[in-house]
Chains A and B, each alone.
Chain A
Amino acid sequence: KQEVTQIPAALSVPEGENLVLNCSFTDSAIYNLQWFRQDPGKGLTSLLLIQSSQREQTSGRLNASLDKSSGRSTLYIAASQPGDSATYLCAPEGDKIIFGKGTRLHILP
């Protein structure tokens, strides 16, 4: 059964810092891995999708890497902004998606 762990659980940093969010998962038999953000009381916004054959994806200030064999993914956020404040969810995509508890990020102005 897939288990997803995200570290740290919460993070509060000043604006402008570069951040690293970590995700580990136990079942490496995945098709893709997505990173989502969720704002309070809202649905999921897809940030990046990494196919299992890829090692990383980039979109603007976001970069995600995937090491499928070791069950790890990292989301890198450059030059953080207050608008980045949200919960970030890592989603390894196998026959279904099991979510971890996410990382609650708070960027201080």
Chain B
Amino acid sequence: GAVVSQHPSWVICKSGTSVKIECRSLDFQATTMFWYRQFPKQSLMLMATSNEGSKATYEQGVEKDKFLINHASLTLSTLTVTSAHPEDSSFYICSAFMDSNSYGYTFGSGTRLTVV
């Protein structure tokens, strides 16, 4: 089956620093990857869609200069939270899509970010 590895699973950082989260598809090539954010007791909100080798498409209200997404290969996408603030503390989760109906979307295990 399709497996997506997300790292780190949790991270604590100081305000003003940047944090990078990695999302890797381990046994398939992902044409598209997605990044979601989930605040406590709320649903997952789509932040952005990234295709390999092109700029990410951000959802309305998501600051592209704050949440930098790089999709340099068909197996790796990264989300960098720049100049983090306490309000950026959240659960971030990625999803990868292979161009096949059999796998659908596969999700990483998520990253809990706490900014202090």
Contacts and interface: CB of A to CB of B under 8 A. Distances in A.
Interface of A: 31-32, 34, 36, 41-44, 46, 49, 51-52, 89, 91, 93, 96-102
B20 to A, nearest CB: 19
Main secondary structure of the interface of B (DSSP, over half): strand
B54 interface: no
Given A41-B112, A51-B101, 15 more contacts: A34-B104, A34-B105, A41-B91, A42-B109, A42-B110, A43-B107, A43-B108, A43-B110, A44-B93, A44-B110, A46-B106, A93-B104, A97-B95, A98-B46, A99-B45
Given A31-B101, A32-B101, A97-B34, A43 B49 contact: no
Contacts of A100: 43
**Which 6 pairs of residues, A with B, have the shortest CB-CB distance?**
A43-B110, A43-B109, A32-B104, A99-B44, A44-B107, A101-B43
Contacts of A93: 104-105
Contacts of B107: 36, 43-44, 46
B34 A31 contact: no
Nearest to A102: B43
B71 to A, nearest CB: 14
B104 A31 contact: yes
Contacts of B44: 89, 99
Interface string B89-101: 0010101000001
Q: In the complex, which range does the number of interface residues on chain B fall in?
A: 20 to 34
A48 to B, nearest CB: 10
B105 A91 contact: yes
- Which of B44, B45, B93, B112 has most A Cβ within 10 Å? B44
Contacts of A101: 42-43
Contacts of B106: 46
A89 B42 CA distance: 12
A31 to B, nearest CB: 6
B46 A97 contact: yes
A89 B44 CA distance: 10
Interface in B1-45: 34, 36, 42-45
A49 B104 CA distance: 8
